[in-house]
Structure 1
């Protein structure tokens, strides 16, 4: 088997604005450190180390780097593997998937792969294809108007605070009625639904890190009690924060 049929690309990327990303191969996009922002089809995902994206060959996406990222991603030729179940899926990366990426990290992309590396790449593809069938719910619709983008940025910066809709509308120079129409028209969400989604997306990102306890994660995204955070997260993700954190750790 030749290395062009499958390879792992590991490199450091400095912060960069959104750029169109389209590959002639299937691409498993994963960050070992930092977080990527991925946008496609009017939706936006954050990719911390606990999450990955499987992008089918020739599928266009926008990728931005708000911070320094250490990426470790895999490329698969369409002749080597079957097509992914969907053109794009973002999902929680399993410990097995991360270990397979690490095991293949040192493989030279210009050398012919031996049988061991070939078997590992096939195993990685099996894992990634299976995981892609259960996409992460931590996704946000993309706002189109500058006023709504500004409103979302303000909301995201204040997730740990009590937020008022009328005050937010005044800050972005819209009436509450006009802002409510922007939320429903551009995102198909109410303001409260968008705020809750932002809090859950941030919680997913924080749970992937080791620095905060689950109670601290809940408080940092605006929940005054662990029970309230547990209930909201279970309703959003289908499992408790502690179960979610355990699911992507060895």
Structure 2
């Protein structure tokens, strides 16, 4: 294991410590691994994709991801400039059930300030170091209190090979107006069988999946590209700006214009 990946194995070396790791080393990939500890992951400077065996998560600015203990995952920063801030916490059976579920949540100002306060520490924080440990433990205890709702910034991974090919096509052609019946026939399905396959393999309808895919791509474009909101809407297949804005707000919780302002804070 290379030096920059050393922390992956170091996290669980001591069971009762909280582990801090603020990564500014320009990593392009953190390979699939798991921890006995729960992981708080926050990013700056770009988008991070986190892949588990079941889902592909999209972690944008001003959000954090909680990765439950034992969940195998790989981390894919969108660029080497991305800074990842990690806190790893031991979780016991007496802890809030919140810590057993992997999801993405918005970050409020209180959480952001406390998280940035931890950048002065690296590595294991021992329980015996009460002045520091108490602060970081309080951060952990705050998470269920301030994380009132998770965001559906994840897509299930297709298992069926033909469905994988279709989804790859969707990902590369989001600006198009798809006709479901034509799409099904072009990929060797009947419309009815493709509709059933989406529900069986992905647990959602074609429209639900396509909408989520478009919104996640819109988030990425808003974060990484110097595009107007209207240009972003067009690139993800929306000719109507109000429809795009309403759909974005329904899924993300804020309108695109508000999200850009949130991004500017960082």
TM over 0.5: yes
Provide the TM-score with structure 2 as the length reference: 0.75
Query: In the TM superposition, what are the counterparts of 1:140-159 in structure 2 within 5 Å?
Result: 140-159=155-174
2:85 corresponds to 1:72: yes
Unaligned runs of 5+ residues in structure 2 are 1-13
Q: Tell me the equivalent position of 1:35.
A: 47
Q: Distance in 1 between matches of 2:224 and 2:230?
A: 13
Query: In the TM superposition, what are the counterparts of 1:85-234 in structure 2 within 5 Å?
Result: 85-87=98-100, 88-109=102-123, 113=129, 115=131, 117-118=132-133, 120-209=135-224, 211-234=226-249
RMSD of aligned C-alpha atoms? 3.3
Aligned residues of 1:142 and 1:187 also touching (Cα < 8 A): yes
Superposed displacement of residue 83, structure 1: 4.2
2:15 corresponds to 1:15: no
State how many pairs are aligned: 245
Q: Sort the Cα spacing of 1:102 and 1:45 in 2 relative to 1 into closer, same or farther, 3 A.
A: same
Provide the TM-score with structure 1 as the length reference: 0.79
Q: Deviations over 1:19-55 (max 9, x none)?
A: 1x32122210222234333344733311233322112
Aligned residues of 1:50 and 1:208 also touching (Cα < 8 A): no
Superposed displacement of residue 182, structure 1: 1.6
Superposed displacement of residue 198, structure 1: 0.9
Superposed displacement of residue 191, structure 1: 1.9
Aligned residues of 1:183 and 1:191 also touching (Cα < 8 A): yes
Aligned residues of 2:17 and 2:125 also touching (Cα < 8 A): no
2:61 corresponds to 1:46: no
Q: Tell me the equivalent position of 1:61.
A: 72
**1:130 is paired with a residue of what secondary structure?**
helix
Unaligned runs of 5+ residues in structure 1 are none
Q: Deviations over 1:70-113 (max 9, x none)?
A: 3211112337x944514122212334433433332231325765
Q: Sort the Cα spacing of 1:17 and 1:108 in 2 relative to 1 into closer, same or farther, 3 A.
A: closer
Q: Distance in 2 between matches of 1:17 and 1:165?
A: 37
**2:73 is paired with a residue of what secondary structure?**
strand
